[in-house]
Structure 1
Amino acid sequence: MTDRDVFLPVAAQPSVDALVEQAQRAEELGYDRAWLPESWGRNAAVTLTAVAENTEEIGIGTSIMPVYSRSPALVGMTAASLQEVSDGRFRLGVGPSGPIVIENWHGMEFGNPLKRTRETIDIVKQVLTGEEVTYDGEYFELDGFRLRQEAPDPAPRIDAAAMGPKAVELAGRFADGWHALMLTRDGLDERFDDLHRGAEMAGKDPEDVRTTLSLTCCALEDGTEARELVRQHVAFYIGGMGTYYRDNLARQGHEEVAHTVYDEWNGGDREEALAAIDDDLLDSIAVGGTPDEARDLLAEFADLDHVDSLSISFPRGASVAQILETMEALAPSATAE
């Protein structure tokens, strides 16, 4: 059975307490894990510590913690600490993010994101053993680093976020799981081949590499508003977050739509950008509508082979009330009815 996670909002929330309350509500509703992104809002480690201290059973995780904004040693220390404060409920999600975020916001050269992600995962795994870390890589050289406390037992699992073929292959080869996002159902099938190839290169059973699919979802009594919030979110990522998501959609066979959305968005015609995303494409990459419509759409994603968990995320324009309404409508108990 596919697990059901919740992706705490990437959009600004009124307070850390609001995020804690959303995680508590997710726990009450039977969600398996609460993921928190780290982008330009609150520090993920601090916020997840508050979540861990105020919940009892729900898993917690970072999706994603960029590999450019912390050193690998610090990522390992953070993972060990979050595993400790959560009593073993933490899962680490890492990834490169994109050039706009890394170069414009963090002032770092984006460089070779695949190599940097691989080296980060390698080093974090060493850190989490509690043994002295020696590493000689292209980006990082470490000698003598060692945790001062006991190593976490069990060590938290490490997932990698990825969209392109080589990045997904890397997740299968070096990580314990893959975080998929902005992929159509057909696009997912293609990437599973890459994931499985990577796992086999590492001598792993591909079924042991956990796949978490992040889905932008909105389920409201006003189904039209829900769909428009989802459409706006998808258009923003394709058009407003550099070429990363545009190229990802084009790679999945939607090149004309991807470039139209990008061009219209950056040309200032947001309405035309939204209009380029028709209902069929929207329903293949996200979930929006009335509660009943959204549950039916979600079921189609839950039936996909090789997807271990669906992570319910929310449009960037959704209010706190709309987030909670969606969370309740798509909770495991609600969708099982």
Structure 2
Amino acid sequence: MSPRLGVVLVPSLPPEALRPLAVAADEHLDDLWLWEDCFKESAMAAAGAALAWTERVRVGVGLVPVPLRTVPLLAMELATLHRMFPGRLAPGVGHGVQGWMGQVGVRPRSPMTLLDESVTALRALLDGEEVSTSGEYVRLDRVRLDWPPSPGTPLLVGGSGPRTLRFAGRRGDGVLLASALSEAEVAEQVGWAREGWAEAGHEGSPPVTTNLVVATGPDAHERVRRDLARWGVDDGAPGRAAAGGAEEVADTLGRLADLGVTEVAVQPAADEPDVDGLVRFVGTDVRAALGG
């Protein structure tokens, strides 16, 4: 089965680049993904704008670092967007980059405990429940949203290590993987997520999204190589990126789908000269090469 296709607003692009990218994604792709890297763009502000500018594309946030926002604030933000744009928001939460969390004074002693407490309370608030809890990090006293979304509204969880990904599979409605992963790393991480999914009593496999650097054109391979080097990756392992024509890119996407990836968020290289053109290429040529 072919994966869903999306595109990432990479944080190397300024906020004003969002509107044309969102419009192009709305025409050609299934999803538009937003990151919340410190200290660049706000994912919540960008998500609201992108949803308002578009008609059908799903807007994903991959991911919101839970140390940066209190659970009630994040619940209010997500509930508002879910109700204004039903079925079109796919928010994901995670630990965040601990170095950045330390820079702003919110680095927890136990990122796993904070994530667990946050997801538990956030899930209950989004389901319309009144929440009272006194955890190590999350403390709420009879908190209930006045305007919750529909119960069961999706909440994704992302990360990279085995504990986090088993937790993501067990507690999330979908799992977010990182960028520049090799096929071997994808297979291992999907396996961890599947273990958690099974522990929760779910059948089959969880929805899994990963980011993939993609470039096309005569200098595609060189641009991909430079972009991977920015991530500290230079081993050339299969799956870390896709470069070339539609058939070459579709072949990489197909192999990721075989490993359990259900959505690929195309990540333009930092020096991509035509992001809108890349979106059209993926949504038309690559989709056709995948068989629809």
| TM-score, length of structure 2 as denominator length | 0.90
Shift of 1:294: 3.1
- Deviation per residue, 1:48-85 (Å, 9 max, x gap): 11111111111112111111110111111111111122
Change (3 A) 1:230 1:112: farther
SS class of match (1:330):
helix
The percent identity for this pair of structures is 26
Q: Which residue of 1 aligns with 2:226?
A: 232
Unaligned runs of 5+ in 2: none
Alignment of structure 1 residues 80-91 onto 2, 5 Å: 80-91=79-90
Q: Which residue of 2 aligns with 1:300?
A: 255
SS class of match (2:264):
strand
* 1:313 partnered with 2:267: yes
Contact 2:93 2:157 in 1 (8 A): yes
Q: Which residue of 1 aligns with 2:243?
A: 288
CA–CA distance in structure 1, aligned partners of residues 96 and 55 of structure 2:
30
Q: Which residue of 2 aligns with 1:114?
A: 112
Shift of 1:154: 5.1
Alignment of structure 1 residues 179-190 onto 2, 5 Å: 179-181=176-178, 182-190=180-188
Shift of 1:197: 1.6
Q: Which residue of 1 aligns with 2:5?
A: 4
Q: Which residue of 2 aligns with 1:47?
A: 46
Contact 2:4 2:262 in 1 (8 A): yes
- Deviation per residue, 1:218-271 (Å, 9 max, x gap): 22x223xx3333233323233xxxxxxxxxxxxxxxxxxxxxx6xxxxxxxxxx
Shift of 1:333: 5.3
Q: For residue 6 of structure 1, what is the amino acid of its counterpart?
A: V
- Deviation per residue, 1:7-59 (Å, 9 max, x gap): 2222132x43x302211111111x11111111122211111111111111111
Aligned length: 286
SS class of match (1:153):
coil
Q: Which residue of 1 aligns with 2:287?
A: 335
Alignment of structure 1 residues 21-36 onto 2, 5 Å: 21-29=20-28, 31-36=29-34
Q: Which residue of 1 aligns with 2:141?
A: 143
Question: 197, 208, 212: which one pairs with 2:209?
Answer: 212
CA–CA distance in structure 2, aligned partners of residues 135 and 95 of structure 1:
20
More deviation, 290-299/187-196: 290-299
CA–CA distance in structure 1, aligned partners of residues 141 and 265 of structure 2:
38
Q: For residue 122 of structure 1, what is the amino acid of its counterpart?
A: T
Unaligned runs of 5+ in 1: 239-260, 262-276
Shift of 1:108: 1.9
Q: Which residue of 1 aligns with 2:71?
A: 72
Change (3 A) 1:201 1:33: same
Change (3 A) 1:203 1:292: closer
SS class of match (1:63):
strand
CA–CA distance in structure 2, aligned partners of residues 313 and 134 of structure 1:
40
SS class of match (1:306):
coil
Contact 2:35 2:62 in 1 (8 A): yes
SS class of match (2:150):
coil
